[in-house]
Structure formats: structure tokens, C-alpha cells
Amino acid sequence: MESIEGGQASSSRTPGVDINAIGTIDGTSIYDVDLDSFEDKPWRKPGADITDYFNYGFNEYTWKAYCAKQKQMREDQHQRKKIHASFLSFD
């Protein structure tokens, strides 16, 4: 992994982090990063501290489940917005 990026500033008037932005690793959404594709998985090594690699009680398996859930929720929200917009266009 070369770089980890977070969200951009939410507006020029209010500096800070855009909490709605999806972070990226080497240009890939964090939700699309395939942990199985990593050759080196240092969190699996004997004596490794899992919290050096995963926060908030996540581990490799719960992180994968969380990412799948986030992707599904975001897709569901996107579909609801499309449906809502199509109803508004009938007016």
C-alpha cells in the first residue's frame, strides 16, 4: 500500500474532513480493497497487535462483513434516491 487518503474538506467556508467521503487506498475505495489480495498480512503474524491494523474492535473478518454491509446500504440509498427522483419528475 502506498497511500491512504481520507475525505476532502467539506467546503471552503468550513475546513475539516468530509465525513461522507469514502476513503481510498491507492485510489481504491476502502470498501473495495480486497484484504485477501495482500501478499503480506502482518496482523496474522505471531505477536501482532490486531489494533495496529484494525480499529473499533474490527478484525479481518468483521471488517469484510462491515464493508459488504456499507456497500449494500450505500447502493440501497442510491436506488431509493433514483426512485424518489423519478416520482418527482412525473409532476
Among candidate residues 57, 77, 8, 68, the one with its CA nearest the CA of residue 33: 68
pLDDT of 7 over the 80 cut = no
pLDDT of 13 over the 70 cut = no
At residue 9, the pLDDT reads 46
At residue 14, the pLDDT reads 65
Residue 52 contacts residue 43 (beta carbons within 8 Å): yes
pLDDT of 22 over the 60 cut = yes
d(CA 69, CA 63): 10
pLDDT greater at residue 10 or residue 85 = 85
At residue 5, the pLDDT reads 55
β-sheet with 24-25: strand ranges across: 4-5, 24-25, 28-29
